[in-house]
């Protein structure tokens, strides 16, 4: 019987000093951010995940966004080298947390990649070429993953932070996409749902089993998901959105295979 684990990390008391690239700084209510994060963890648990929460990191403002520190696949986990210098030390504790479950590979300089830039669909990895992630990291990932049959393909990311801000998987053969940001033709063989054009940041969803965890902040796109038959579990992550985060970035999901 397999088990699904979600690794999370408590919100740093210094989240107010987070990195911001495309958003203006707004005050973040720490207590509210923590409450929202707990409810996000509760949503993961309700969908069958065993949540393993790492302790908050005082000196790492963005460390709640654990997704950026690793790319976890069934066969192996890649410890990233985050593009922002303030975020590079986040990988140390993430590597420790993943070591019991996976063989680890490490991205080395000059490679940089944030997990938020990595979208896996089956054996295909799409990786954003962004302000955080570069071709050197893509080449390293391709070499690590070639023995397991994965292909790794770069996708231009300009004007937004991470590839998964613009496209995520919402069902086995369906993606939700912001077509103004990413070329839908890349996903030609999949069913495409477009976000509502008034909700630019609405494409980030977290698929757990057949249900997507989805922010309440994007009601119009939510309606489109419902119309497409996608089961949706909403969460309010408005305080984390102010830190340029969303739903994929607050967890690392891994399947264990116990026989
Ligand atoms: C950053 O700029 O790195 C953080 N403030 C937000 C990271 C969000 N990560 C993600 O969507 N994967």
Q: Which two tokens stand for residue 172?
A: 């086995």
Average model confidence (pLDDT) across the chain:
97
Residue 206 Cβ contacting ligand 1 at under 6 Å = no
Say if residue 19's pLDDT is above 80: yes
Q: CA 225 to CA 220: how far, in whole Å?
A: 9
Q: What domains can you pick out in the chain, each with its CATH number?
A: 2-257 (3.75.10.10)
pLDDT of residue 191: 98
Question: Average pLDDT of 177-198?
Answer: 96
Instruction: Reply yes or no on whether 162 is catalytic.
Output: yes
Q: How confident is the model at residue 64 (pLDDT cuts 50, 70, 90)?
A: very high
> 55-59: which pairs have CB atoms within 8 A and are 24 or more residues apart?
55/9, 55/10, 56/9, 56/10, 56/11, 56/12, 56/13, 57/9, 57/12, 57/90, 57/93, 58/12, 58/13, 58/14, 59/14, 59/89
Q: CA 197 to CA 180: how far, in whole Å?
A: 8
pLDDT of residue 1: 61
Q: CA 251 to CA 245: how far, in whole Å?
A: 11
Say if residue 235's pLDDT is above 70: yes
Question: Average pLDDT of 200-205?
Answer: 97
Say if residue 259's pLDDT is above 50: no
Give the closest residue (by CA) to ligand 1 atom 5. 19
The three-class DSSP label of residue 8 is: strand
Q: How confident is the model at residue 2 (pLDDT cuts 50, 70, 90)?
A: confident
Whether the CA torsion 200, 205, 211, 217 is positive or negative: it is negative
Q: Which two tokens stand for residue 121?
A: 């669909």
Question: Average pLDDT of 212-230?
Answer: 98
* pTM, to two decimals: 0.97
Question: Average pLDDT of 24-51?
Answer: 98
Closest atom of ligand 1 relative to the 204 alpha carbon: 11
**Catalytic annotation, pick one of 18, 37, 49, 249:** 249
Say if residue 233's pLDDT is above 80: yes
What are the tens digits of pLDDT across the range 126-142?
999 999 999 999 999 99
Question: Average pLDDT of 180-193?
Answer: 96
Question: Average pLDDT of 176-196?
Answer: 96
Q: How far is the CA of 62 from the centre of ligand 1 (A)?
A: 7
Question: Average pLDDT of 22-26?
Answer: 96
Q: Which two tokens stand for residue 58?
A: 């005082």
CA 115 to chain CA centroid, nearest Å: 6
């Amino acid at each position: 019987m397999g088990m699904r684990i979600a690794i999370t990390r408590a919100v740093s008391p210094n989240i107010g000093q987070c990195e911001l690239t495309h958003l203006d700084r707004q005050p973040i209510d720490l207590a509210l951010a923590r409450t929202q994060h707990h409810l996000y963890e509760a949503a993961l648990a309700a969908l069958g995940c065993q949540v393993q929460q790492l302790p908050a990191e005082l000196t790492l403002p963005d460390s709640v966004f654990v997704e950026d520190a690793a790319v976890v696949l069934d066969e192996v986990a890649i410890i990233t080298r985050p593009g922002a210098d303030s975020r590079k030390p986040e990988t140390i504790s993430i590597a420790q947390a993943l070591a019991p479950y996976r063989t680890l590979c490490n991205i080395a300089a000059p490679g940089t990649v944030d997990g938020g830039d990595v979208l896996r669909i089956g054996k295909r990895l799409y990786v954003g070429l962004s302000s955080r992630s570069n071709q050197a990291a893509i080449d390293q990932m391709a070499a690590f993953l070639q023995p397991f049959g994965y292909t790794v393909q770069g996708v231009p990311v300009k004007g937004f932070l991470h590839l998964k801000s613009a496209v995520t998987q919402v069902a086995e053969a369906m993606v939700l996409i912001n077509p103004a940001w990413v070329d839908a033709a890349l996903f030609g063989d999949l069913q495409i749902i477009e976000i509502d054009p008034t909700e630019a940041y609405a494409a980030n969803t977290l698929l757990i089993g057949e249900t997507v965890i989805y922010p309440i902040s994007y009601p119009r796109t939510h309606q489109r998901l419902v119309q497409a038959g996608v089961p949706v579990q909403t969460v309010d992550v408005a305080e984390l959105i102010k830190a340029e985060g969303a739903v994929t970035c607050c967890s690392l999901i891994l399947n264990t295979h116990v026989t």
